[in-house]
Amino acid sequence: MSHPNCNYRAFRDSYLFSTIYRRTEEYLAAHPGARVLNLGVGDVSLPISKTVIAALHAAVEEQADAKTFHGYLPECGLPGLRKAIAAHYGRYGVELEPEEVFISSGAIDDIADILALFDKEDTALVLEPTYPAYVETNLIAGHEIKYLESGKEDRFLPLPAPDLKADIIYLCSPGNPTGAAYDRKALKAWVDFANRIGAVILFDAAYEIFVSEPQIPHSIYEIDGAKTCAIEICSLSKTAGFTGMRLGYTIVPKTLSRDCMDFNAMWTRDRTSKTNGVSYILQKGAEAVFTEQGWEECLENINRYHANSKALMEALDEAGAWYCGGKNSPYVWVQCPEGLDSWTFFDRLLNELQIVGVPGEGFGKCGRDYIRFSSFGDPEDTKEAARRLKTVF
């Protein structure tokens, strides 16, 4: 008699985005023709850049001809792509071997899969407010989850107290949903802490390309000691507009081990058993991202999103609102005015200013007084939203 994994019982479905959608539709039904300005979107809006498109077409063409056709692929990634990503880290002063880079179908896939490396008794530490996948994947795997709350007082960048206990530590910097980013000194505190207690940090670097200030690291490996305590999970979703293309990468340093077990060897073994690699076509597209021309095109797109953040931040500054994020992130995390909770403020923004944000409560209870605005929307809509926002704080 087969028994299901009872951990699925612990779930309640998240209705965050479906509720946002429903309330917006209701507003539009009641106000036909209204122009609603969407700052809620967490998805990119600019298309794939031309260098990558050309590489994708060329790879499709290779698959059409027996002489150039590619069948089964190396499980951990095409050697050329692993090498290109290792070289990319050189931009940030980080030395990696290609064999420390693993190609994935996206950051979220590896956030889920990487838990196979850990003992079931390991506890996970999640910093709230949080990207929901850290919590959900641990619920399914049956790990005990501890929460570390953050707020205005630490600018949503909490540090480890000396008596904090955890085996697996999730850090996301620049963060989702808060946009807050650890500087070198703060990240060093986490790295030293993890090395001292033997924890492993799962560092989500999905927004690294948005980093614009020199004191903010792009990679945790810019911090001394990180290669003995951290796995970094990254993605081309935001970097290259790959949300619908699906390709990411995970760094597992050869120097990371616990109980005499080498995490790089374990992950290589895991991938070899559980996948046949990521599509040849997608990997060739990803290789093009890391060419000089490809990277320049990515940065051009990021600058367009940065311009949206800037418009929002200027308006919020003028209005005297409290916020974090924006500078090194596509997200601006804003305190609701007049002590409003996030769903009440959401309704007010929608009904009075026709602006859609994401209520902070959707990311954990310490997000209850905040709203997330995104810079992925239309530039004209964002400018108009910024203009209207000045009146509300």
Interface with a second copy (CB under 8 A), residue from 29, 33, 35, 120: 120
| Residue from 26, 43, 97, 296 in contact with a second copy (CB under 8 A) | 43
Residue with the two structure tokens 């990207």: 131
Q: Hey, how many other C-beta atoms are within 10 angstroms of the C-beta on 56?
A: 18
* CA gap 60, 245 in Å, rounded: 14
Tokens 């946002």 belong to residue:
20
- Please state, in angstroms and rounded to a whole number, the distance separating the CA atoms of residues 156 and 180: 6
Q: Total residues contacting a second copy (rule CB under 8 A)? A: 82
Please report how close the Cβ of residue 269 comes to a second copy at its closest, in angstroms. Answer: 6
Q: How far is the CB of 296 from a second copy (least distance, A)?
A: 17
d(CA 152, CA 191): 23
Q: How far apart are CA 41 and CA 331, in angstroms?
A: 10
Instruction: Choose one: 20-28, 115-123, 149-157, 318-326; the region binding a second copy (CB under 8 A).
Output: 115-123
Tokens 């990487």 belong to residue:
114
Does position 34 interact with a second copy (CB under 8 A)? The reply is no
Among residue numbers 157 through 186, which ones bind a second copy (CB under 8 A)? 167-168
Tell which one of 36, 87, 112, 392 touches a second copy (CB under 8 A): 112
Q: Does 63 bind a second copy (CB under 8 A)?
A: yes
Q: In the complex with a second copy, which residue's Cβ is closer, 152 or 269? A: 269
Q: Which stretch binds a second copy (CB under 8 A): 61-69, 86-94, 314-322, 329-337?
A: 61-69
Q: Pick from 166, 237, 178: which is nearest to 202 by CA? A: 166
Residue 147 or 393: the one with the smaller Cβ distance to a second copy is 147
Determine, following the binding rule CB under 8 A, whether residue 6 of this chain makes contact with a second copy: yes
> Which one, of 81, 160, 167, lies nearest residue 127 by Cα?
160
57 makes contact with a second copy (CB under 8 A): yes
Residues 22, 91, 185, 269: which binds a second copy (CB under 8 A)? 269
- 119 interacts with a second copy by CB under 8 A: yes
Closest by CA position to 326, among listed 373, 380, 387: 373
| Per CB under 8 A, 335 contacts a second copy | no
CA 348, CA 351: separation in Å to the nearest integer?
5
